[in-house]
């Protein structure tokens, strides 16, 4: 009876070192299905993604390989997933490719909301377009200062102002769109006491109680 118990205990393993599992990037290993209007052209050093809204090129590391298992479907592979750098760049590159496919086929849209008494935005012609290198337009922001704040619109950004307190930005590049939205937000960051400021999308802020003596 004692021998059987010892055998059962020895057969039970509480250590994971005995059974090594291959590291896999859960994001990088996912397949990407893309519309027929989008064309992917990979080379040994980069991949070009073309669509109805434009084209973009992303660099590829030497250890990355792109496979097309079927039409309008691609997968990204690396030489050795056990290497930390390859595993990290695997998921990052896959995300960049996916975002580029969405960008050249549909584009990205970000709304900004102006919250505050008297806050408003106006889209107007930029008289200093040659200096600011804008697309010919700029935002005229009234956001609580004694002066207007002017923000030139970059050539790669499309901007509309459907309401005086709402700005809508459109771009095929998600990263550049986010950077420009953050630039506008920095002109009047949301403050936690009265809840005033420029908010991106569904952004909220926790209101604090003001200190009173």
Q: Give the three-class secondary structure for 92.
A: helix
Residue-level pLDDT at 10: 44
In a domain, 13, yes or no: no
Residue 149 is part of a domain; what is its CATH number?
3.90.930.12
The ranges of the chain with pLDDT < 70 are: 1-23, 212-213
pTM above 0.95, yes or no: no
Q: How far apart are CA 4 and CA 117, in angstroms?
A: 80
Residue-level pLDDT at 209: 83
For residue 140, what are the domain limits?
A: 109-200
The β-bridge partners of 59 are: 46
In a domain, 190, yes or no: yes
Helix ranges, 107-155 (H): 129-132
Tokens at residue 204, please? 């909220």
Q: Please tell me whether residues 119 and 133 are part of one structural domain.
A: yes
Residue 91 CB neighbours (<10 A): 16
Residue-level pLDDT at 19: 41
Q: Please tell me whether residues 119 and 195 are part of one structural domain.
A: yes
In a domain, 15, yes or no: no
**Structure confidence by residue, pLDDT tens digits, 135-152:** 999 999 999 999 999 999
Residue-level pLDDT at 49: 96
Domain stop point among 80, 106, 132? 106
Residue-level pLDDT at 2: 45
Domain stop point among 106, 134, 167? 106
How many independent structural domains does the chain possess?
A: 2
């Amino acid at each position: 009876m004692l021998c059987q118990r010892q055998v059962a205990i020895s057969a039970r393993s509480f250590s994971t070192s005995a059974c090594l599992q291959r590291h896999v990037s859960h994001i990088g290993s996912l397949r990407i299905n893309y519309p027929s209007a989008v064309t992917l052209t990979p080379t040994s050093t980069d991949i070009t993604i073309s669509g109805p809204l434009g084209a973009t090129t992303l660099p590829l590391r030497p250890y990355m390989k792109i496979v097309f298992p079927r039409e309008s479907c691609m997968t990204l592979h690396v030489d050795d997933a056990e290497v930390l750098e390859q595993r990290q760049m695997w998921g990052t590159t896959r995300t960049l490719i996916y975002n580029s496919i969405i960008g050249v086929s549909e584009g990205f849209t970000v709304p900004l909301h102006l919250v505050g008494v008297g806050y408003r935005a106006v889209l107007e012609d930029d008289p200093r377009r040659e200096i600011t290198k804008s697309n010919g337009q700029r935002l005229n922001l009234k956001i609580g200062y004694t002066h207007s704040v002017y923000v030139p619109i970059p050539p790669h950004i499309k901007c509309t102002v459907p309401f005086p307190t709402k700005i809508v930005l459109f771009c095929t590049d998600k990263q550049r769109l986010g950077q420009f939205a953050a630039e506008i937000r920095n002109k009047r960051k949301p403050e936690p006491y009265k809840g005033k400021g420029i908010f991106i999308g569904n952004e909220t802020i926790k209101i604090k109680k003001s200190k009173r003596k």
